[in-house]
Amino acid sequence: MSTPVLEIRNLKTYFASDRGEVRAVDGVSLHVDAGETLGVVGESGSGKSVTSLSVMRLIASPPGRYADGEILFEGRDILKLDKAAMRDLRGNRLSMIFQEPMTSLNPVFTVGAQIAEAIMLHQHLPRPAAFARAIDMLRLVNIPAPERRAHEFPHQLSGGMRQRVMIAMALSCNPKLLIADEPTTALDVTIQAQILDLMRRLRAELGMAIMLITHDLGIVAEMCDRVVVMYGGRIVEEADVISLFDNPLHPYSEGLLASIPRIDEDVEQLYAIEGSVPDPADRSEGCAFAPRCRYAFERCRSETPVLSPIADGRKAACFLAGERLTRPAVEQVLS
């Protein structure tokens, strides 16, 4: 098998706080293969965004620190790179689209100048050539009248156009991996669909891999090849998308899928997972999901399950995962 574009091994990213050490990411291991889209899903506070920022080496220190683990990009551990080498990599072969484009773009520079800056830095082109490529990138992401839009400021563009500018900037240096952190947040459904279609088309044309951070399982079903489900700073399940939606092996994955509204069912109240996400500064023994799990038993409260292979490339961190392969889990919850 070929070497994954990205491989994370036992990553632990902790933050110092007045309440003690916050284990935002606590032993995450995953990989992204060339040309595939990996979805990373979970509630707010599950560690998705901190994982992506760790890959980009954008965790502020202090208060954050990489307590353990490796992040291998094209075989190199980026946690061991010096600042100059990381700057050369970030925005070049490794790019990221952030959640809110209005706060990610500089309001006092035109969008064309901001895209051109990245091109000049990494491709070493003179300013006129870099600006011309910036216009080409705006055209690639379907922004109308790109020659005019390149001279406009972020506040002059709609939310959907700003997100397209962020995508153009991220792709301007032909990255091998694009990390997209909630790329359709705060966009209406029509623009969301356009952005997702754009990302799917560009992946096919450019051959890049995508790590898609989201809480929207509909986007996962539409965009991803594989998915990892995070809870409490850890991965609780990993599977191909079809297998996960057909029969989730972890009770948390089951709850997420059961809570999706269904237009073909007449229900008075949507299913909801009781309780709330655990405090990352208060890690007790046992499974982090046990207080909210309808299947929890004594072992779950005293022993922490490890993410382990179950069958057909699937992994789950649940003592009952093997048994759950034989029954339609979501239907049992809804019954």
Summarised one tens digit per residue, pLDDT across range 121-158 is 888 899 999 999 999 989 988 889 999 999 999 999 98
Let me know: does 105 contact 113? Beta carbons within 8 Å.
Answer: no
Give buried/exposed letters for 86-100 (b at 16+ CB in 10 A, else e).
beebbbbbbbbbbbe
Q: Which domains does the chain have, with CATH numbers?
A: 1-33+42-93+218-335 (3.40.50.300)
Q: Name the band, by pLDDT with cuts 50, 70 and 90, for residue 289.
A: very high
pLDDT at 264: 64
Question: Whole-model pTM?
Answer: 0.88
Residue-wise burial string across 272-306, b where 16 or more C-beta atoms lie within 10 A, e elsewhere? ebeeebbebeebeebbbbbebbebbeeebeeeebe
**What's the pLDDT score for residue 68?**
94
Tokens (6 digits) for 139: 């055209």
Better-predicted residue by pLDDT, 330 or 38: 38
Work out the widest C-alpha separation in the chain, in whole angstroms. 67
**Residue 305 gets which letter from DSSP?**
P
Q: What is the pLDDT of residues 12-60, one digit of tens each?
A: 999 998 888 899 999 999 999 999 999 999 888 889 999 999 999 999 8
328 CB contacts (<8 Å, ≥6 apart)? 247
Instruction: Using the predicted structure, report yes or no on whether residue 173 has a pLDDT greater than 60.
Output: yes
User: Which residues pair with residue 181 across a beta bridge?
Assistant: 213
Residue type, 204: A
Q: How many CB atoms lie within 10 A of CB 169?
A: 27
Asked if residues 134 and 112 have their Cβ atoms less than 8 Å apart, the reply is yes
Residue 296: which of 315, 280, 318, 278 has the closest Cα? 318
- Answer yes or no: are the C-beta atoms of 173 and 121 closer than 8 Å: no
Tell me the pLDDT of the chain averaged across its residues: 87
What pLDDT does 327 receive? 61
Instruction: Give the pLDDT confidence of 290-315 residue by residue, as tens digits.
Output: 999 989 999 999 999 999 998 888 99
